[in-house]
Amino acid sequence: MSRKKIITTTLLVLVLMASGIGYYLYNKGPVDVQDSSSVKTNAAGLYVLFIKDLAAAQKNYTGRILEVSGEVHDISINQQQKKILLLKTNSDGAYVNCTMEENIENVHANDKVNVKGICSGIGEGDVDLGIKGDVYLTRCYLVK
């Protein structure tokens, strides 16, 4: 077999493999947060991990599905009309901010809940104004 045929065949196989992988990833769809396995933690502990060692916490938690237990401080609605649960931490003015994907009419302030969602990391806050950053979870569901 000539060298030109070997190179052409190798390139063709690589292009076909790349196309197959691209097709799979494109059609894979979003992660099913409700039925996926998760890392369990509590709101106060998660917040402390991000404050004490930001780099390690981002490496270990950002982009992963977490199940966070905690006490509800407040419930609000964002611009997309999704409910936001703020879970208390041991630091005044700092919360685990959970954007809910489901209707949570039976949840109220001071309720203890378990929330499963994708960790987005910690917000910056504003030191000059004394505003602490929250840890954010998106695509959240209550764990029953």
- Predicted confidence at residue 10, as pLDDT, reads 93
Please choose, from the candidates 134, 144, 122, the residue with its C-alpha nearest in 3D space to the C-alpha of residue 57: 122
pLDDT at 144: 80
Averaged pLDDT, groups of 10, the chain, 144 residues long: 89 93 82 86 96 93 95 94 95 94 91 96 80 91 91
Report pLDDT for 42. 96
The CA distances from residue 129 to 47, 79, 119, 125, 126, in Å, are 20, 24, 25, 9, 5
How much is the CA Rg of the chain, to the nearest whole Å?
21
Question: Which amino acid is residue 65, in one-letter code?
Answer: I
